[in-house]
């Protein structure tokens, strides 16, 4: 994020009312979204997680198989969470019905969904599904009921299409409610006090390369401001691994396997450091590193561990006001 230095995590999360989390599939984007939710709620913010139709499962770490369209409380304010965490799933059909209902056309909205007419409209006006979802997010942002809205966006390539849809529809439709909705969403996306994007990547060659390209596309093509970038799945250094490897002797199968495992772990860690350095060199954004936890399935306790890591690092950030990724170096 731009502007001044952040003194603490609360300052960081208060800098923008909507935070869209995006990244290549498989980098842990949804996990980061859930982590941000706990991190923001832990510093006193009324935080709402948004998952989109057909994407992600933000509620899984909290024991929720699927979030409903209507807002549901995920975690109330407690001694560990001075704020609260809620969530919902936005579907284009429900967003359309709600929009028409609010404009006195409830019966028409129900018929459109039942007959599948919305799919016909989507074919005739590509991007309308995305605009409906973004329009609902904008309405939630404007309501002021939440201090922070965290959106788990589609995977990187689809995220660009998703975020470009308002501009495309604003150009294609000269006037009327669709044009008006598109313009309102564009106002939100273009105001960094209202909306910013946080990219997520792994410290590996392909995800890092895609994160770099996505970052420039988001700023140059869509006009969005970027928050610090999250590097997920970082291997913690193992103290004494090098000396232990040097001291490991023997030709037994077990000794050979241990040496191979140690060298592999050492090489992976070194490769991650190199990729983070490359990321820093090509993309002038602050990085937040989240460690790889020793579990196949993250639960609520794991999310709290990652949230604590996130807030600790945010508090140490010094943001360079002159950073600009509009031109590649």
Report the alpha-carbon distance of residue 66 to residue 59 in Å, rounded: 6
> In this structure, what DSSP letter does residue 299 have?
-
- Rg of the chain's alpha carbons, rounded to an integer? 22
pTM of the model: 0.85
How many C-beta atoms lie closer than 10 Å to residue 234's C-beta? Answer: 18
pLDDT of residue 141: 96
Kindly give the residue spans of alpha helices, DSSP state H, lying in 125-176: 128-143, 156-172
Q: Which domain holds residue 118?
A: 9-236+286-314
User: Considering the domain boundaries, does residue 67 fall inside one?
Assistant: yes
Residue 54 has, within 13 A of its CA and on its CB side, a CA count of 10
In a domain, 257, yes or no: no
Which CATH number covers residue 188? 3.40.50.300
Residue 215 CB partners (closer than 8 Å, separation 6+) = 199, 226, 229, 283, 285, 325
Q: Please give the pLDDT value at position 246.
A: 66
Which candidate, 221, 35, 46, places its Cα nearest to that of 141? 46
Whether 166 and 220 have beta carbons less than 8 Å apart is answered as no
As a whole number of angstroms, the distance between CA 228 and CA 225 comes to 10
For residue 73, the cross-strand partners are: 86
Residue with tokens 């969005």: 224
Residue 207, pLDDT score: 95
Q: Per-residue confidence of the chain (329 residues) as pLDDT tens digits? A: 333 445 588 889 989 999 999 998 889 999 999 999 999 999 999 999 999 876 668 888 888 888 988 999 998 877 678 889 999 999 877 777 776 666 555 555 555 556 555 554 544 456 788 888 999 999 999 999 999 999 999 876 788 888 998 888 888 777 777 888 889 999 999 999 999 999 999 999 999 999 999 999 998 888 899 999 999 999 987 776 666 666 666 667 777 777 777 778 888 999 999 999 999 999 989 999 999 998 878 899 999 999 999 999 988 774 444 444 443 33
Residue 261 counted as domain residue: no
Say if CB 146 and CB 140 are below 8 A apart.
yes
- What is the enclosing helix (H) or strand (E) of 208? helix 205-217
Within a domain: residue 165?
yes
Domain count along the chain = 1
Give the number of other CB atoms < 10 A from CB of residue 53: 15
Round to whole Å and give the CA distance between 251 and 31. Answer: 42
User: Which residue shows structure tokens 């996306």?
Assistant: 189
For 26-76, what is each residue's pLDDT tens digit? 899 999 999 999 999 999 999 999 998 766 688 888 888 889 889 999 988
Residue 242 lies in a domain: no
Residue 55 covered by a domain: yes
The answer to whether residue 213 sits within a structural domain is: yes
Pairing of strands 84-90, 72-75: antiparallel
Residue 163 forms part of a structural domain? yes
Q: Write down the pLDDT at residue 202.
A: 97
Which DSSP symbol is given to 61? G
Q: What is the reported pLDDT for 249?
A: 67
Nearest to 325 by CA among 218, 232, 195: 218
Q: Which two tokens stand for residue 326?
A: 């509009």
Q: Is 113 exposed, middle or buried (0-12, 13-18, 19+ CB in 10 A)?
A: middle
């Amino acid at each position: 994020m731009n502007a001044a230095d952040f003194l603490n995590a609360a300052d960081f999360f208060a800098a923008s009312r909507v935070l869209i989390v995006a990244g290549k599939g498989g980098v842990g984007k949804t996990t980061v979204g859930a982590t941000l939710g706990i991190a923001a709620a832990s510093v006193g913010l009324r935080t709402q997680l948004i998952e989109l139709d057909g994407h992600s499962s933000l509620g899984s770490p909290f024991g929720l198989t699927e979030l409903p369209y209507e807002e549901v409380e995920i975690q109330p304010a407690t001694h560990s969470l001075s704020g609260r965490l809620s969530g919902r799933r936005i579907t284009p059909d429900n967003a359309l019905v709600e929009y028409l209902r609010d404009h006195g056309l409830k019966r028409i909205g129900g018929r459109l969904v039942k007959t599948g007419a919305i799919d016909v409209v989507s074919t005739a006006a590509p991007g309308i599904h995305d605009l409906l979802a973004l329009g609902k997010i904008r309405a939630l942002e404007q309501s002021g009921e939440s201090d922070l809205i965290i959106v788990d966006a589609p995977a990187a390539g689809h995220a660009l299409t998703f975020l470009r849809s308002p501009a495309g529809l604003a150009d294609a439709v000269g006037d009327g409610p669709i044009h008006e909705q598109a313009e309102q969403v564009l106002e939100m996306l273009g105001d960094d006090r209202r909306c910013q994007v946080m990219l997520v990547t792994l410290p590996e060659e392909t995800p890092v390369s895609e994160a770099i390209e996505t970052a420039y596309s988001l700023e140059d093509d869509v006009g969005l401001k970027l928050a610090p970038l999250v590097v997920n799945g970082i291997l913690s250094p193992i103290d004494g691994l090098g000396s232990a490897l040097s001291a490991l002797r023997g030709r037994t199968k077990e000794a050979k396997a241990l040496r191979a495992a140690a060298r592999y772990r050492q090489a992976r860690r070194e490769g991650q450091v190199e990729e983070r350095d490359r990321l820093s060199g090509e993309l002038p954004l602050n990085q937040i590193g989240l460690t790889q936890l020793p579990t196949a399935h993250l639960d609520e306790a794991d999310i709290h561990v990652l949230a604590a890591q996130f807030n600790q690092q945010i508090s140490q950030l010094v943001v360079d006001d002159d950073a600009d990724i509009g031109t590649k170096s």
